[in-house]
């Protein structure tokens, strides 16, 4: 499949592994790149020296294209970006911030820049900023999420109508069938998080991976809407969040409840009671922890069989 | 396209027009049936004598298959069902209640029964009750909605995995591309509400239709979660609901705020300030009020062009 996404990144399949905090280190990202997709290191949970170590290991583990996801609200941003430039990272996915701030600086160094958005307003900002592609992420997605609550099914056509950029769909995609669905809507590729978070190569804590596999319909919830919306898996910490929501707690109360370091606690250290467990709605469809190669094979064969079945469907 | 849905209903295209309160009378439903889809009268906003009148006009306006949507919590249920049986309605879509209550009684009269669900638990109940097909409706949908907030993209594969029944996907579908997307996910057909609510033949008030056309991303919200979740379009009444939500009002307070007859007020009588305006998230993608035939033509050509483009996409 040659299209705007495979062409832009120089990859075989239009499948990007989302850069996730605490899940996507060099092991996961290199496995995805080696399997013909695009692996992303999740810098959102890495201090610069940790990122440097992952970049060194990444380069030793794959000769294929790879990238780094950088949430722009990160406190050590200048240092992270200097490191990315010095290490000649070929592709950067930015998120949670203004695409105008870094796009031109990175592109001047020959870096391909993609920005993550959840609404048309930011898609247009991305286009103005000159990004090379956008990730359009729907309500289903795990972790940080848009305020409009627009689902992937409604978001992709909306973004397609608004901008001419290549569109990578994210949120709710964990199978080749879902990949076919969002490509039918006009996407040029997919970004997949949750399915890869529950892979063998993911750096998530094994207990968290097990929780993903056990997740059912309705097990994830969009929370912290008075701060910045984030989709969490149910656990005792979520129950506290829910209590706060039902009684209409203030933003300051939510901030205090959240505290610091809860994502690391839950997702990386495996404290499932007190930690924050970020995962997408599609976790309900994830039943086993698998190696990346198997996940990729299933995505591709599921996509191809869907496309083949479609030949019979003309109305 | 011959499949389980077109075959079950004896229709040309697997497109069902959702039975919507205050929008879908005989004019809309007969136009959809005449165009090769399945038109449904929305009995949820009709007293028995009004439904009788619509059935008489419906039969005069089309010789094609049609149906009635009946929310099972309706106060005049026995009378409605007696009328449906006496009038030899060929197809009934039930919703908002237990599928076991009426399915066998209706089927014994030769009526095809479909039930609307938003989660696997109720899909399995439908299968046990022996319904002929199910509508699986995602978080995007207008009006009453599931508690799990599962989006159509995540819901359809989940339901497909759980039951062998024909699946009609609903929520977020207003184009042939979206139709192709949900069929890629495993649906056998689609139920479309919002797009038909903003048709020339819809019985919605013209001012409400205009509001649908003006709706943007983030203009609809899932509200009243402490009672039964319902997706509403923003207006001054919604702003009051939001205030109640932010301060954590009780279920009793919400009940008092809602009162009686707000949907009629907004959707049928055009009181856009105080009325309840039920519409789906896909309203952001609806830009014009069109005749049903044009909507159907666009759905079919959009679906076909998507299928044709897919031929080139094998990985």
The closest CB to that of A218, out of B148, B218, B311, belongs to B148
pLDDT at B237 over 80: yes
What DSSP character marks residue A265? I
Residue B81 Cα, gap to closest chain A Cα (Å): 33
- Which of B160, B169, B181, B227 should be substituted to probe chain A, the one whose Cβ sees the most A Cβ atoms within 10 Å? B181
Would the pLDDT of B43 be above 80? yes
Reduced 3-state DSSP string for A260-287: CCHHHHHHHCCCCCCCCCECCHHHHHCC
Asked if residue B101 has pLDDT above 80, the reply is yes
Tokens describing residue A210: 């097990």
**pLDDT value of residue A311:** 76
Q: Does domain B4-203+290-310 have CATH number 3.20.20.70?
A: yes
Distance from the Cα of A302 to chain B's closest Cα (Å) equals 10
- Summarize pLDDT for A86-114 with one digit per residue, the tens: 999 999 999 999 999 999 999 999 999 99
Q: How many Å apart are CA B156 and CA B152, to the nearest integer?
A: 6
Domain at A4-203+288-310: CATH code: 3.20.20.70
pLDDT tens-digit readout, B170-201: 999 999 999 999 999 999 999 999 999 999 99
pLDDT > 80? residue B58: yes
Q: Is A312 exposed, middle or buried (0-12, 13-18, 19+ CB in 10 A)?
A: exposed
Q: What is the reported pLDDT for B312?
A: 76
pLDDT given for residue A1 in this prediction:
75
Place of tokens 């992270």: A80
User: In the structure encoding, which two tokens stand for residue B171, read together?
Assistant: 């929520």
User: Residues B222-239: what's their mean pLDDT?
Assistant: 97
Which candidate, A89, A153, A232, places its Cα nearest to that of A242?
Answer: A232
Could you tell me the sign of the dihedral formed by the alpha carbons of B267, B151, A254, A71, in that order?
negative
Q: What percent of chain A has pLDDT over 70?
A: 99
The C-alpha atoms of residue B140 and residue A154 are separated, in whole angstroms, by: 8
- Confidence at residue B279, expressed as pLDDT on a 0 to 100 scale: 98
Q: What is the mean pLDDT of chain A?
A: 97
Query: How is the beta sheet containing B15-17 ordered, strand by strand?
Result: B15-17, B189-192, B167-170, B133-137, B112-117, B91-95, B66-71, B39-42
DSSP state of B199: B
CB-based contact A152 B151, cutoff 8 Å: yes
pLDDT tens per residue across span B2-24: 899 999 999 999 999 999 999 99
Looking at residue B30, its pLDDT comes to 98
> Would the pLDDT of B47 be above 90?
yes
ipTM for the predicted complex = 0.96
Facing residue for B218 by CB, picked from A150, A181, A300: A150
pLDDT greater than 80 at residue A315: no
Per-residue pLDDT, B41: 98
Average pLDDT over residues B49-73: 97
Res. B313 pLDDT band, cuts 50 70 90: confident
CB-closest option in B150, B161, B183 to A281: B150
Q: Enumerate the domain spans of chain A.
A: 4-203+288-310, 206-282
Residue of B nearest to A299 (CA): B315
Q: Which residue bears the tokens 């599931």?
A: B146
How many angstroms from the chain centroid is the CA of residue A119? 16
Percentage of chain B lying above the pLDDT 70 cut: 100
The burial of A68, by beta-carbon neighbours within 10 Å (0-12 exposed, 13-18 middle, 19 or more buried), is given as: buried
Question: How many C-beta atoms surround the C-beta of residue A86 within 10 A?
Answer: 11
Task: Say whether B249 and A248 touch across the interface (CB within 8 A).
Answer: yes
Which backbone phi and psi does A275 adopt, to 5 degrees?
A: -80, 165
3-class SS of residue B222: strand
pLDDT the model gives residue B271: 97
User: Strands A112-117 and A143-144: what pairing?
Assistant: unpaired
Based on the number of CB atoms within 10 Å of its own CB, is B156 exposed (0-12), middle (13-18) or buried (19 or more)?
buried
Q: Percent of chain B having pLDDT more than 90? A: 96
The per-residue pLDDT for range B245-285, each reduced to its tens digit, is 999 999 999 999 999 999 999 999 999 999 999 999 999 99
Instruction: State the pairing for strand pair B167-170/B133-137.
Output: parallel
Q: How many CB pairs under 8 A join A and B?
A: 168
Q: State how far the Cα of B178 lies from the Cα of A185, in Å rounded to an integer.
A: 6
Measure CB to CB from residue B140 to each of A154, A246, A304 and give the nearest one.
A154
pLDDT at A74: 86
Which residues on chain A are in Cβ contact (under 8 Å) with B152?
151, 153
Mean pLDDT of chain B: 97
Mean local confidence (pLDDT), B99-124: 98
Is A7 in contact with A1 (CB distance < 8 Å)? no
Instruction: Write down the residue that tokens 């290490």 correspond to.
Output: A87
Per residue in B73-97, pLDDT (tens digit) is: 988 999 999 999 999 999 999 999 9
pLDDT in tens, A25-64: 999 999 999 999 999 999 999 999 999 999 999 999 999 9
Of A158-162, A190-194, A245-249, B308-312, the poorest mean pLDDT is in B308-312
Distance separating alpha carbons of residues B93 and A18, to the nearest angstrom: 40
Q: What are residue B257's DSSP bridge partners?
A: none
Residues of B in contact with A155 (CB under 8 A): 217
Q: What is the pLDDT of residues A125-155, one digit of tens each?
A: 999 999 999 999 999 999 999 999 999 999 9
The string of pLDDT tens digits covering residues A271-296 is: 999 999 999 999 999 999 999 999 99
């Amino acid at each position: 499949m040659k299209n705007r996404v495979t062409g832009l990144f120089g990859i075989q399949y239009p499948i990007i592994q989302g850069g996730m905090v605490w899940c996507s280190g060099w092991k996961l990202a290199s496995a995805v790149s080696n399997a013909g997709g695009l692996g992303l290191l999740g810098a959102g949970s890495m201090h610069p020296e940790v990122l440097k170590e992952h970049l060194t290991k990444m380069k030793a583990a794959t000769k294929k294209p790879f990238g780094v996801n950088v949430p722009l609200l990160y406190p050590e941003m200048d240092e992270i970006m200097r490191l990315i430039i010095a290490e000649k990272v070929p592709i950067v996915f930015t998120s949670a911030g203004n695409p105008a701030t870094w796009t031109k600086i990175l592109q001047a160094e020959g870096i391909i820049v993609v920005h993550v958005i959840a609404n048309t307003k930011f898609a247009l900002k991305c286009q103005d900023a000159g990004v090379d592609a956008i990730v359009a992420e729907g309500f289903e997605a795990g972790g940080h999420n848009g305020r409009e609550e627009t689902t992937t099914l409604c978001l992709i056509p909306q973004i397609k109508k608004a901008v001419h950029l290549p569109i990578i769909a994210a949120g709710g995609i964990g199978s080749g069938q879902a990949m076919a669905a969002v490509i039918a809507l006009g996407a040029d590729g997919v970004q997949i998080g949750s399915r890869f978070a529950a892979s063998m190569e993911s750096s998530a804590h094994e207990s968290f991976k097990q929780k993903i596999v056990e997740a059912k319909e309705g097990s994830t919830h969009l929370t912290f809407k008075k701060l910045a919306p984030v989709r969490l898996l149910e656990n005792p910490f979520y129950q506290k969040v829910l209590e706060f929501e039902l009684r209409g707690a203030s933003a300051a109360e939510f901030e205090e409840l959240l505290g610091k370091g809860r994502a690391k606690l839950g997702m990386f250290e495996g404290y499932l009671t007190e930690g924050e467990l970020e995962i997408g709605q599609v976790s309900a469809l994830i039943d086993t922890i698998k190696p990346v190669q198997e996940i990729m094979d299933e995505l591709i064969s599921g996509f191809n069989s869907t496309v083949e079945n479609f030949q019979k469907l003309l109305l």
